[in-house]
Amino acid sequence: MVEHKTSIRVIYADTDAMGVVYHTNYIKWFEVGRCELLRSMGYPYARMEAEGILLPVAECNCKYKLPAVYDDILEITARIAEVKGATVTLEYEIRKQETGVLLVTGSTKHAITDPNFKPIRLRDKNRALNDCFMK
């Protein structure tokens, strides 16, 4: 299972008046984790786009266990969970780096499409990327 860790630091822009990170920002950081995962696989998303393949988000889920606060360094783990038909599902964990405590888990399911958002089967259209995802 392909997996990658990256980290970010919480700034004020990410927090809200409850004093903690606003809940949609973790899902934004899923994007950071996903991009760096694809890059680590030798297939940055920018390259996918250049080759005419998009991964629009079809579904996302997020569970919030403990809040992150200003100045925390967060470790984002992203992994490819499933490639099925013209979709790929990724899973994520976000931990407080200093302590390793799990804060958030989640997943995103993506359609695999051409630039007109028409679903494509990777196996037929781009064997190299398909092999990447299947590793």
Q: Which is nearer to a second copy, 1 or 115 (CB)?
A: 115
Given 3, 16, 51, 131, the residue binding a second copy (CB under 8 A): 16
Active site residue 124: no
Apex 122 CA angle, 33 and 37, nearest 5 = 15
Q: Which stretch binds a second copy (CB under 8 A): 68-76, 81-89, 93-101, 119-127?
A: 68-76
Residues in binding contact with a second copy, number by CB under 8 A = 37
Give me the numbers of helices (H) and strands (E) for the chain, helices first please: 4, 5
DSSP letter string, 12-52: GGGB-TTSSB-HHHHHHHHHHHHHHHHHHTT--HHHHHHTT
Q: Which stretch binds a second copy (CB under 8 A): 41-49, 75-83, 86-94, 121-129?
A: 41-49
- Residues taking part in catalysis: 16
